[in-house]
Amino acid sequence: MTQTVSASLVVIGDEILSGRTQDTNTSYLAKWLNECGIQLSETRTVPDIEAEIVAAVNALRARYDYVFTTGGIGPTHDDITAESISAAFGVPCQRHPEAYARLLAYYGEKDFTEARQRMTRVPEGGVLIDNSVSIAPGFQIENVFVMAGVPKVMQAMLETIRPRLKAGRKVWSETLIVYAPESRIAPGLEAVLDGIDDISIGSYPFYSEKSVGAQIVIRSHDKAAIARAMTALKGFCVACNYKTEVQASA
Amino acid sequence: MTQTVSASLVVIGDEILSGRTQDTNTSYLAKWLNECGIQLSETRTVPDIEAEIVAAVNALRARYDYVFTTGGIGPTHDDITAESISAAFGVPCQRHPEAYARLLAYYGEKDFTEARQRMTRVPEGGVLIDNSVSIAPGFQIENVFVMAGVPKVMQAMLETIRPRLKAGRKVWSETLIVYAPESRIAPGLEAVLDGIDDISIGSYPFYSEKSVGAQIVIRSHDKAAIARAMTALKGFCVACNYKTEVQASA
């Protein structure tokens, strides 16, 4: 049986913590990892401060199979991820010859400024993560994958990373929308949970002027277990006369 | 001089880590706190697992002035925040008399099911956080504020919490959009940073088919320092012939 593979994410960026930028990388990464059979188990958002980045990365890389980071690999003074990851691993942060050659060819000698050269810094032992959108690469060191914060670039880097990851057991899910207050649905959920192994159930209430209800999400590595849970849950709703609707999978 | 007040956020929820739900509470809270002069300094997203919630809350409440949590205070089996916060503080999780009386009056004796009674559990010593949207309260214990995950309910709870928070120094910001590659703007940013104290500068590149550039965000407690930085930065852009645009404040 394939084992569960776990991952964590460190979002590096003052712009998220100030509320200026709405993070969307987390949900993209979560869904993408799930397709790979990898479970996102924790995320942290830290400011552009080396000690904070080091502490988060070191806590998470010891604990999860993979750590992903987003942000802070550009050319400006607030892009300190390469130095911070080097510090986390206790290795020098140095010019990566291949990245340097590639950016030099792209910009030309005259325009290859000091700022642009910053984008070629990689911790010793790091392996580049190319992408189809931007000339500047991310990098991998051991189980830590350092990516850009710009969503399109991050998404392109993930495609490069994919073959480097071990595949785990994919988690499947189905969602039943139940048009009844969550507190009425709860006993049915308890019964389903007690009766069927290997599933997890989440309940997410919604309120609108038109309707009140909850989205019940059943998740499992085992599609048959999900089907059994859905049947039991629908039976409970029919018995209670609650209107339901199966939500199409994403 | 008013000192800086710091805060952190623990997002509790499998639905965020599975990618099913796009978190928007973080950016709302970040902006709201900034209006109060409080700085959001770290966020963590953890699954619906007691040990994970306990570890995150205990790490953050020792470190920041305030900890906010979202999610897990509803009536279903996966709503384990009240027990988890109690465990974090080493106190019993008990029925709160006022919350109990209020929900009993709302539902009536017959419909006040066990599931609904779950919503009246509060750690010993906890103080309720009412809200105008939902009958079910959140609670505060010491410097930890436990809120609902549903955005409208969380937002209403924040208004209840506001008078309980000490006000810090508000951070102001201005944004200059510069239509030039970020790596060309970097030297100007360095010069501004070197010359003006008490500011922080963030640079956020954008790429589209029509234009390439970066949004330069200057942040400070001191409006005059921001004005000096903007003048210096605009001067640099004029000298380099980069088109710029001042972004309207949010």
Question: Which CATH number fits the domain that encloses residue A187?
Answer: 3.30.70.600
Q: How many residues does chain B have?
A: 250
What would you report as the CA-atom Rg of chain B, rounded to the nearest whole angstrom? Answer: 22
How does pLDDT run across B231-240, given as a tens digit for each residue?
999 999 999 9
Rounded to 5 degrees, φ, ψ at B204 are -125, 105
Q: Are residues B71 and B136 in the same domain?
A: yes
pLDDT, residue B187, reads: 84
Please indicate, yes or no, whether residues B151 and B177 belong to a single structural domain of this protein: no
Q: Which residues of B146-159 are buried (b: 16+ CB within 10 A; e: fewer)?
A: bbbbbeebbbbbbe
Other CB atoms within 10 A of residue B211 CB = 11
Look-up: residue for tokens 């080493």?
B90
- For A2, A162, A221, A245, the CA distances from A130, given in Å and listed in that order, are 29, 12, 32, 43
Q: How far B246 CA sits from the closest chain A CA (Å)? A: 15
Are both B147 and B183 inside the same structural domain? no
B184: domain range? Answer: 172-247
Do the Cβ atoms of B5 and B66 come closer than 8 Å?
yes
pLDDT band at A249 (very low <50, low <70, confident <90, very high): low
Same domain flag for A210 and A243: yes
| pLDDT score recorded for residue B1 | 47
Share of chain B above pLDDT 90, in %: 76
For residues A138 and A176, membership in a common domain is answered with no
Of A164, A195, A229, which one is at a domain's C-terminal end?
Answer: A164
How does pLDDT run across B84-131, given as a tens digit for each residue?
999 999 999 999 999 999 999 999 999 999 889 999 999 999 999 999
Q: At what angle do helices B81-89 and B50-61 cross, to 10 degrees?
A: 50
Tokens of A146: 């350092």
A with B: how many residue pairs have Cβ under 8 Å apart?
197
CB contact under 8 A, B14 and A200: yes
Q: Is the pLDDT of residue B72 over 70?
A: yes
Contacts of A77 in chain B (CB under 8 A): 186, 189-190, 193, 201
What integer pLDDT is reported at residue B2 of this predicted model?
57
* Non-local CB neighbours of A230 within 8 Å, separated by 6+ positions: A174, A176, A218, A246
Q: Check residue B249 and give its pLDDT.
A: 64
Picking from B204, B218, B220 by the largest number of A CB atoms within 10 A of its own CB, the best residue to mutate is B204
Q: What is the DSSP letter of A171?
A: P
pLDDT surpasses 70 at A221: yes
> Is the per-residue pLDDT at A1 higher than 80?
no
Q: What is the mean pLDDT of residues A206-225?
A: 89
The answer, yes or no, to whether residue A250 has pLDDT greater than 80, is: no
Alpha helices (H) along chain A:
14-17, 25-35, 50-61, 81-89, 97-107, 114-117, 151-161, 182-195, 223-240
* pLDDT > 90 in chain A, percent: 76
| Confidence check: pLDDT of A103 > 70 | yes
Render pLDDT for B144-166 as a digit per residue (tens, 0 to 9): 999 999 999 999 999 999 999 99
Q: How far, in Å, CA of A184 to CA of A162, rounded?
A: 43
Q: What percent of chain B has pLDDT over 70?
A: 98
Q: Above 50 in pLDDT, residue B67?
A: yes
Which residue is it, tokens 């409440």? Answer: B61
Looking at the fold, whether A63 and A124 belong to one and the same domain comes out as: yes
Q: Find the length of chain A.
A: 250
> Mean pLDDT of all residues in chain B?
93
Distance CA(B196)–CA(B202), nearest Å, equals 14
Structural contact between residues B115 and B90, judged by C-beta atoms closer than 8 angstroms? no
Q: How many domains, in total, are found in chain B?
A: 2
Residue B152 and residue A34: Cβ atoms within 8 Å? no
The stretch B203-222 carries a mean pLDDT of 88
The CATH number for A34's domain is 3.40.980.10
